[in-house]
Amino acid sequence: MTSAVITGMGIVSPYGFGVEAFRRGLHLGRSAVGPIQSFDVSTSPTQVAAEVPIKEITTSWMQESLSQFSGTFSLPTQSIPEGVWRDRKVGFALLAAAEAWSNAGYRSPDPSGSLSLALGLEQALLEDFAPHFDGAINWESAFNSAEPGIRFRSSADLAAKWVNRLLKLEGPSMVHLSACAAGTLAIGHAASLIERGATELVITGGADSMVNPLGLGGMSRLGAPSPRNCAEACRPFDLRRDGLAMGEGAAVFVVESHQRALKRGAPILAEIAGWGSTQDGYRITAPRPDGSMAARAMTLAMEKAGIAPQDLDYINAHGTGTPLNDPAECEAIHRALGEVAPRVPVSSIKGAVGHLMAAAGAIEAAACLIAIEDQIIPGTTNLQSQDPRIPLKVIGPEPEPATIGHVLSNSFGFGGQNATIVLRKVP
Amino acid sequence: MTRRPAPTPIAIGAAAVVCPFGLEWRGLFQAMSAGPSRFGPLPLPPPFHQIEAAAIDDGLLAQSPVHRRELKKMSRSAHLAAIVTHRVLGDLDPQVSPASMGFFLGVGASGATIGELTAMLEASIDAHQFSLKSFGKQGLLACNPLFAFQLMNNFTLCHSAIRHEITGPNAALFSRGGGTVSALIEALYALRNGDCQSALAGGADSACHPVTLCELSREGFIEGGLRPGEGGALLSLHAQPSGGLASIVDASLYPSPTHRWGEIMEQIKRDHLRRVDALVLAPWGAPSRVSLRSVCADYFPNTPLFDLSLHLGEALAATPALAWAVGLDYLQTHRSASTTLVLSLGPDGDLGAVSLRKEREA
């Protein structure tokens, strides 16, 4: 049985484009949450988010951005459907994949590669309905109208298809549609594919943007975002936490077997040592308050990694900053770690970069890899006064140096899907 | 190409379907082979009513175990999944607890009800222009506050998990033609790896949603002869090589097979079954049908062949799972048959292969 290692990482985050922009942002611990720029939110109940700093993606901008990465390939511009960039996560996924591929040291395509990618909801393009609406949708005209490539709704696997085309992957392609747990599930799945010998190379991670009218509006209707329209909107584990901040972006990783990585002299960022998934099976609007099923996912991941709770050096929490999530996660950590729980450093980066939804687990895995690489635990931006009902060793807003060998990262999805991975520093 | 560990057969403990032919998987093969066609005009406004489709009758859905209040939070796909989950768990051995079961589902596109969408648009569109200001002020308030739960693709899985408190390992996977097969592969792996002792695997989806129909049309599928369908199917699987209705020998997914059909077919024969008594095909659209039939004629000559999509239309993520159920039914109703091979082929070239073997042969 072989182990799975991460040899390349690419990031598009609210801090900007690339791993280094993300690293700088994390080390500064600043919040990237601010007034939404990409569309008019003047009447929206939620007016802030952590947006990737580009207002509109175009084909020429994508071509130029991709050209900076060696070992990647130009997009077949002529076959790009009209309007594809309206679904922002497609562009984010492509750029992150190109950077990961390049950073992993690849200079040519490897068709044997598989894809296991977490993607968010299809983007609903409400404006497309307007010309066909007169008290009701005139489906006759909508159905028979001119045929741009993307209309009404982008397809769920659009970003995956374009990553496959960019990197010329020919292995099985799997898209995880598991809301906020999807990124972590995809990474665990990639490691599992390597371990079971199904493939030696997987591109994994996640991309999402729900910073669009229906995405933001739908979450607002649920009451998930903080009502504060300011940079301090999301305050994980804080006494005054009152909701999440939406974010967008992508993090993509090249995962391969340890032997293959050693053979080609690839940089090894970490081993994906363990993973586990469970479901709460509880309610659609709330996590299981006793944290028992989230704890089970954590325990499974630690068992798989062959470690005990005291071996953990850092927990990257799901830490949404919502009233219900954070105490349930605290319960889960206590259940899974027992008496060790109050001593293991915990932080959440969602106060800084927002909640990237399907990509949350991926961007947080990237934060864990940087923590391992730099031996610095990212801070919990906006944490001012820790909720006394959350007895955990939560790192404050400032990052903290530490000796980090094993990191555990949690992701819990709307609907109750729980996923945990354990990353291990490779000597 | 995927290399898999030597497969240990996995027992099928129960099955459930919902499709235009009803709620019974037993007899489904016969019903589809000999019964009247379920194709007819879609019960939707123009122009969709001109599309020939296999939609599930409202009367059938009226037998649903899902309360009307719950339905407001569900997409049609989630509703179909809830029906088959309820039924398959009802048929389980009482000693099997759903609590720790794995749950692996092929899911489709998001599919909110058109009523919600219309209400939102009506409050947000002024003079054929979508107004973000109106949307923020009135549009959002015009729809059900839990509208987002209809939209989230993973809720096709999660509603059922919540209804039955299913808490084991899980995945909601998507790819056109391949996601549901991937879900089964993950279920089999979880069982063989000891991650769970029992698991549900299948898919639920509807191609009869207006936005989906627009997409299918734009890509040329409707004009190319694709007939939309809908449904759901689940198998309960158990980590034991014997017992149950039949066993799954293996499941595998082969991407982009067109340029290596021969290699793939030889691999299927080697890894899955040396002898195939019947083939169940689930092609996604006419070009896939032509490819699949052609290759089966070459590699499995004289083997009885049943084309599921000809009878049920294209039910997207549900289609492969419905085909497994038909393969299972075939084994149950044909005494001389001991093996079936189910081949599904998506429009992007993903070939799924699932082999079933009758218990006495296992």
- Cβ distance B133 to A129 less than 8 Å, yes or no, reads no
The predicted model gives B132-157 an average pLDDT of: 94
CA B353/CA B283 separation, integer angstroms: 12
Phi and psi of A147, rounded to 5°? -115, 70
Residue B128 has what pLDDT?
86
Verify cis geometry, omega within 30 degrees of 0, for the bond prior to A81. Answer: no
* Residues of chain B numbered 321-360 and touching chain A (CB < 8 Å): 348, 350
- Cβ distance A172 to B213 less than 8 Å, yes or no, reads no
- Cβ distance B168 to A279 less than 8 Å, yes or no, reads yes
Q: Who contacts B29 (Cβ-Cβ below 8 Å, separation ≥6)?
A: B306, B326, B329, B330, B333
Strands annotated E in A42-99:
48-49
Contacts of A223 in chain B (CB under 8 A): 145
Nearest chain B Cα to A148, which residue? B218
B263 contacts chain A (CB < 8 A): no
What is the per-residue burial (b if ≥16 Cβ within 10 Å, else e) of A328-359? bbbbbbbbbbeeebeebbbbbbbbbbbbbbbb
- Cβ distance B109 to A156 less than 8 Å, yes or no, reads yes
C-alpha distances in angstroms, A101 versus A168, A190, A197?
Answer: 11, 15, 21
Residue A80 has what pLDDT?
84
Q: Could you tell me which of A28, A417, A37 has the C-alpha nearest to residue A216?
A: A37
B189 contacts chain A (CB < 8 A): yes
- Cβ distance B214 to A142 less than 8 Å, yes or no, reads yes
Nearest chain B Cα to A158, which residue? B175
Q: Could you tell me which of A316, A301, A314 has the C-alpha nearest to residue A343?
A: A314
B179 contacts chain A (CB < 8 A): yes
Pick A130's closest partner by Cβ from B2, B128, B159.
B128
Phi and psi of A396, rounded to 5°? -75, -165
A355 counts as catalytic: yes
A334 counts as catalytic: no
A230 counts as catalytic: no
Q: Who contacts B226 (Cβ-Cβ below 8 Å, separation ≥6)?
A: B216, B284, B285, B286, B313, B314
**Catalytic annotation, pick one of A176, A189, A355, A406:** A355
Phi and psi of B87, rounded to 5°? -70, -40
pLDDT per residue as tens digits for the range B55-75: 999 999 998 999 988 998 999
The predicted model gives B218-228 an average pLDDT of: 91
Structure tokens belonging to residue B176: 């056109």
Question: Which DSSP letter does residue B139 get?
Answer: I
Least confident of A379-383, B252-256, B321-325: B252-256
Helix, strand counts (H, E) of chain A: 12, 16
The rounded Cα B143 to chain-centroid distance in angstroms is 29
- Cβ distance B5 to A197 less than 8 Å, yes or no, reads yes
Q: Could you tell me which of A192, A196, A416 has the C-alpha nearest to residue A296?
A: A416
* Contact call for residues B110 and B318 (beta carbons, < 8 A): no
Q: Could you tell me which of A14, A10, A12 has the C-alpha nearest to residue A350?
A: A14
Nearest chain B Cα to A168, which residue? B256
Contacts of A175 in chain B (CB under 8 A): 173-175, 179
Pick A130's closest partner by Cβ from B117, B125, B169.
B125
The Cα of A260 is separated from the nearest Cα of chain B by a number of Å equal to 16
B240 contacts chain A (CB < 8 A): no
Q: Who contacts A273 (Cβ-Cβ below 8 Å, separation ≥6)?
A: A3, A304, A305, A306, A307, A406, A422, A423, A424
Nearest chain B Cα to A127, which residue? B130
pLDDT above 90 coverage of chain B, percent: 77
Residue A14 has what pLDDT?
98
3-class secondary-structure state, position B186: helix
Residue B3 has what pLDDT?
45
* Contact call for residues A89 and A97 (beta carbons, < 8 A): no
Residue B1 has what pLDDT?
41
Which secondary-structure segment (H or E) carries B129?
strand B129-130
The predicted model gives B110-120 an average pLDDT of: 90
C-alpha distances in angstroms, A168 versus A90, A113, A160, A176?
Answer: 16, 9, 12, 20
**How many beta-carbon contacts under 8 Å exist across A and B?**
242
Q: Could you tell me which of A270, A222, A224, A314 has the C-alpha nearest to residue A26?
A: A314
- Residue A196 is which amino acid? R
The Cα of B349 is separated from the nearest Cα of chain A by a number of Å equal to 10
Q: Who contacts B23 (Cβ-Cβ below 8 Å, separation ≥6)?
A: B16, B17, B60, B63, B83, B87
3-class secondary-structure state, position B206: strand
In this prediction, residue B6 has a pLDDT band, given cuts at 50, 70 and 90, of low
Structure tokens belonging to residue A326: 């954070």
This complex has an ipTM of: 0.97
- Cβ distance A175 to B175 less than 8 Å, yes or no, reads yes
Check whether B362 has a pLDDT greater than 90. Answer: no
Contacts of B103 in chain A (CB under 8 A): 279
Q: Who contacts A389 (Cβ-Cβ below 8 Å, separation ≥6)?
A: A327, A330
Contacts of B146 in chain A (CB under 8 A): 221-222, 284-285
The rounded Cα B29 to chain-centroid distance in angstroms is 16
B44 contacts chain A (CB < 8 A): yes
* Contact call for residues A413 and A179 (beta carbons, < 8 A): yes
* Contact call for residues B353 and B2 (beta carbons, < 8 A): no
Check whether B4 has a pLDDT greater than 80. Answer: no
Beta pairing partners, A3: none
Which secondary-structure segment (H or E) carries A394?
strand A393-394
Which secondary-structure segment (H or E) carries B187?
helix B179-192
Contacts of B195 in chain A (CB under 8 A): 300
Q: Who contacts A218 (Cβ-Cβ below 8 Å, separation ≥6)?
A: A210, B147, B148, B151
- Cβ distance A137 to B118 less than 8 Å, yes or no, reads yes
Tens-level pLDDT at each residue, chain A (427 residues): 799 999 999 999 999 999 999 999 999 999 999 999 999 999 999 999 999 999 999 999 999 999 999 877 778 777 788 789 999 999 999 999 999 999 999 999 899 999 999 999 999 899 999 999 999 999 999 888 766 778 899 999 999 999 999 999 999 999 999 999 999 999 999 999 999 999 999 999 999 999 999 999 999 999 999 999 999 999 999 999 999 999 999 999 999 999 999 999 999 999 999 999 999 999 998 999 999 999 999 999 999 999 999 999 999 999 999 999 999 999 999 999 999 999 999 999 999 999 999 999 999 999 999 999 999 999 999 999 999 999 999 999 999 999 999 999 999 999 999 999 999 999 9
